């Protein structure tokens, strides 16, 4: 029976599907020696972002035939080395869509209603009078700028436009113009244009060399002083030092963050000290429903590869005909 390594618990339904078809090796304590020993013998691995599948890990995995990543991000995997070794990388780009899009809206509304500030005043100080000292804003009629227009960006835009009556502006250089016009959204040609127009800027793009620090000092200066930044994508696309400076100086109104440049972040990260910064620990996709979709999706993709069937979602599809068997 083929063996698959898992470094984090899967949704029960996904775990059941996997165990019905392969021997499951579970190592949840990040024991590097144990993980490396398992990698040397398993046929597949379903890895969280904590288990980095870099060149060293891939090269010791002499029997590995497939790598699975739950979710849409796969920056923790060396795709080039994986392809070089003939190992397909499967993922679940449609799995986290709804959960993350809803989280975007939740962060946005918490920012625009100053929920952090009023909740702390009421719960910690019993200050009911805070209601006369803090004033939020309505989402209706405001502009949401989407930087990146993949599945999550599209769904967030749909909720915001149809549900909240917001205007949507999109910047995505890889976008087909027709797909935006169909949804009656405005497409701009530069990030600068989007930043100047938006009341809320939400990031929906992968982390890679060309997107590293995309939101920096100059970009924050382009934003409205009343605008908020929402990031549920990857922490590395934002220059955190520049973000802290922008918040301290009042260059922007605040931020809603689910991801950080370093994860886990340091406990004394200054972003945690601001009332106008809503923070969550990279869990936007971790709803019951999201975990089930991602879990079943990645398990099915891994099983497909092990059974010789090309999976629906494969990052490096060019290796399929030369894959390791």
Domain boundaries 3-95+288-322, corresponding CATH code: 3.40.50.720
Catalytic hit among 3, 8, 282, 324:
282
- What pLDDT score does 304 carry? 98
- List, in order, residues 6 or more apart from 75 with CB less than 8 Å away: 206, 207, 208, 234
Instruction: For residues 178 and 25, give the distance between their C-alpha atoms in angstroms, rounded to a whole number.
Output: 46
Neighbours of 38 (CB within 10 A): 20
Name the nearest CA neighbour of 153 among 79, 199, 98, 223: 98
Asked if residue 236 has pLDDT above 90, the reply is yes
pLDDT in tens, 124-154: 999 999 999 999 999 999 999 999 999 999 9
Domain boundaries, the chain: 3-95+288-322, 97-279
DSSP string of 155-214, one letter each residue? HHHHIIIIIH--EEEEE-TT--HHHHHHTTPEE-SSHHHHHHH-SEEEE----SGGGTT-
| Same-fold call for 3-95+288-322 versus 97-279 | yes
Q: Is 103 noted as a catalytic residue in this protein?
A: no
**Which of these, 205, 303, 310, 269, lies nearest to 2 by C-alpha position?**
303
282 is catalytic: yes
DSSP annotation string for 227-292 = -EEEE-S-GGGB-HHHHHHHHHHTSSSEEEES--SSSSPPTT-GGGG-TTEEE--S-TT-SHHHHH
Per-residue pLDDT of 277-313, as tens digits, reads 999 999 999 999 999 999 999 999 999 999 999 999 9
What three-state secondary structure class fits 46? strand
Q: Against a cut of 0.95, is the pTM above it?
A: no
Q: CA quadruple 99, 100, 104, 107: dihedral positive or negative?
A: positive
pLDDT at 278: 98
Active site residue 3: no
Average pLDDT, stretch 45-65?
96
- If residue 6 lies in a helix (H) or strand (E), which one and from where to where? strand 3-6
Catalytic residue among 62, 263, 312, 318: 263
What is the three-class DSSP state of 298? helix
Q: What is the pLDDT of residue 181?
A: 63
- CA pair distance 230, 266, nearest whole angstrom: 20
Q: Which of these is catalytic: 204, 234, 251, 323?
A: 234
Fold of 97-279: Rossmann fold (3.40.50)
For the chain, the average pLDDT equals 96
């Amino acid at each position: 029976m083929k063996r698959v390594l898992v470094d984090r618990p899967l949704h029960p339904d996904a775990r059941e599907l996997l165990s019905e078809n392969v021997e499951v090796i579970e190592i949840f304590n990040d024991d590097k020696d144990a993980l490396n020993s398992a990698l040397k013998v398993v046929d597949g691995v379903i890895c969280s972002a904590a288990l980095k599948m870099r060149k060293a890990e891939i090269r010791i995995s002499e029997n590995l035939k497939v790598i699975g990543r739950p979710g849409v991000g796969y920056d923790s995997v060396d795709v080039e080395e994986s392809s070089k070794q003939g190992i397909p990388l499967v993922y679940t780009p449609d799995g986290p869509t709804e959960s993350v899009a809803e989280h975007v809206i939740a962060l946005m509304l918490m920012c625009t209603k100053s929920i952090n500030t009023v909740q702390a005043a009421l719960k910690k100080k019993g200050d009911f009078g805070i209601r006369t000292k803090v004033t939020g804003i309505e989402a209706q009629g405001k502009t949401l700028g989407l930087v990146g227009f993949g599945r999550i960006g599209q769904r967030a835009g749909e909720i915001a436009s149809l549900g909240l009556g917001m205007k949507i502006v999109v910047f995505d250089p890889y976008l087909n113009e027709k797909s935006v016009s169909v949804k009656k959204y405005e497409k701009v040609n530069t990030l600068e244009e989007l930043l100047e127009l938006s009341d809320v800027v939400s990031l929906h793009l992968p982390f890679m060399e060309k997107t590293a620090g995309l939101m920096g000092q100059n970009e924050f200066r382009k934003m409205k002083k009343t605008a908020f930044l929402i990031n549920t994508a990857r922490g590395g696309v934002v220059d955190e030092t520049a973000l802290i400076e922008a918040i301290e100086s009042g260059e922007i109104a605040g931020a809603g963050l689910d991801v950080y440049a370093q994860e886990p972040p340091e406990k004394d990260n200054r972003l945690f000290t601001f009332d106008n910064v809503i923070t969550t620990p990279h869990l936007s996709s971790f709803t019951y429903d999201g975990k089930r979709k991602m879990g079943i999706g990645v398990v099915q993709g891994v099983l497909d590869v092990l059974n010789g069937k090309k999976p629906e979602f494969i990052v490096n599809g060019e290796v399929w005909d030369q894959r390791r068997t």
